[in-house]
Amino acid sequence: MSEHADQPLYRAYDTALLDLDGVVYAGPRAIDHAVESLAEARAAGMRLAYVTNNASRTPKAVAEHLTELGVAAEPEDVITSAQAAARVVAGKVPAGAAVLVVGGEGLLEAVREHGLRPVRSLDDDPAAVVQGYDATVGWQQLAEASYAVASGLPWVASNTDLTIPTARGTAPGNGTLVAAVRTATGVEPEVAGKPLPPMHRETVIRTGAKRPLVVGDRLDTDIEGAYNGGVDSLLVFTGVSRPEELPEAPAKYRPTYLAADLRGLLRVQPALSAGDGGSYRCGGWTVELRDGALVLAERGEDSYDGLRALCAAAWAAADAPGGSTPKWREALASLGL
């Protein structure tokens, strides 16, 4: 776990790789404190890149949405799973090859960017299949994909998120559409998006990041993606994941830093330090292990520093040879999160 106790995160890392929905915005509105926090981080010299598993919209469309919300962004600041998938496909087929595209404009543009020719039917002699979410995808596109995959063509999926959030609630995501083709063919696709390495490689290629920090709200995509990429992460609690998911999280779901929201980019993140008997200290908070349970021995100011100390103690106990996770619910409740 990296530590930068002497400087805010926007100075410790050169690039923030930011998830969008649940971190920067929630549907049509910006999340509280996001606009001003990102502006301050950018003004201090941090590169901001917006990384999304949504393959339907083009980077230009995403940048325009961000700008409307007050977040200054250009198309080159946006990295999508469509771009990651198109790069994977380009590595599998000859230059200029036809590719069967199951998806919308975001995926079509990404395929063209690599000099490939999008087509919509197996009759057009494609060399591969690439699939990403779009609201227009229906039976005909899924059937063409199934015919092509069953014929033995390489199949790349932008991501396999089963659901997507919409203004009306939760709707089927690309993973659900991929499942239809998988069921019809018995074939598994190669997946490009978060949390898998192709997406991380795409962000690094496009941003030139040397010291990236992944910022997200989901343990199973954002934080796991950072783990797979071998980089640090900041989990914010403005979206999906909740504090009670952390104490028993496996290693791949363990963030480096925790914050209520994007203001966490602006503050000095205090160092974690281990004490005797399985105790941990962070930012004035001390969590001790007593009789198989974690307890708050000292209190500080920011409860998320206390959560970091609690998680560090829980993870250390669980990871020890023959270890197990101590009781932690009472200590977590005492944090008041």
Angle in degrees, 0-180, between the axes of helices 139-150 and 174-185, rounded to the nearest 10:
50
Amino acid letter for position 244: E
List the structure tokens of 174: 């690309």
Label residue 199 exposed, middle or buried (CB < 10 Å: 0-12, 13-18, 19+).
buried
Q: What is the DSSP string of 291-305?
A: TTEEEEEE--S-HHH
Q: How far apart are CA 280 and CA 294, in angstroms?
A: 10
Residue 220 dihedral angles phi and psi, to the nearest 5°: -85, 0
DSSP 222: I
Q: How far apart are CA 320 and CA 275, in angstroms?
A: 15
List the structure tokens of 90: 């380009």
CB atoms within 10 A of CB 114: 18
Please say if 19 is a catalytic residue.
yes
Annotated catalytic residue, options 6, 19, 134, 222: 19
Annotated catalytic residue, options 6, 14, 21, 134: 21
Adjacent-strand bridge partners of 235: 216, 258
Please say if 305 is a catalytic residue.
no
Kindly list the catalytic residues: 19, 21
